[in-house]
Amino acid sequence: MSDYKQFLQEREQIDGLVGKGYKIKSIIENLSGATVEFEKGNGDRKSLRVLSPDGRKYFSILLIRQQRQAIGVSPSEKGS
């Protein structure tokens, strides 16, 4: 599978979980990829293995957005 196709598949899986109300709870990274743990408000957890560099960048952006929303910073505001 090409790197781009792998990324599209990973992005679809990530977006699917986020769309169902899951939030990123933890990330464990190593040289071959990352394991992202998602958690829903009711305590339900799901894990996803992300191998592509673009997939790792994608969940990193989502995590930053999630953290900014948690502290009440609007997406248009720039961090210092």
Greatest C-alpha distance within the chain: 40
Encode pLDDT of 40-76 as tens digits.
999 999 999 999 999 999 999 999 999 999 998 876 6
Q: Could you tell me which residues come within 8 angstroms of residue 3 by beta carbon, excluding any fewer than 6 positions away? A: 52, 53, 54
66 with 17: CB under 8 angstroms?
A: no
Contact at 8 Å (CB) between 24 and 66? yes
Whether 26 has a pLDDT exceeding 80, the answer reads yes
- Residues linked to residue 48 through DSSP beta bridges, in sequence order: 36
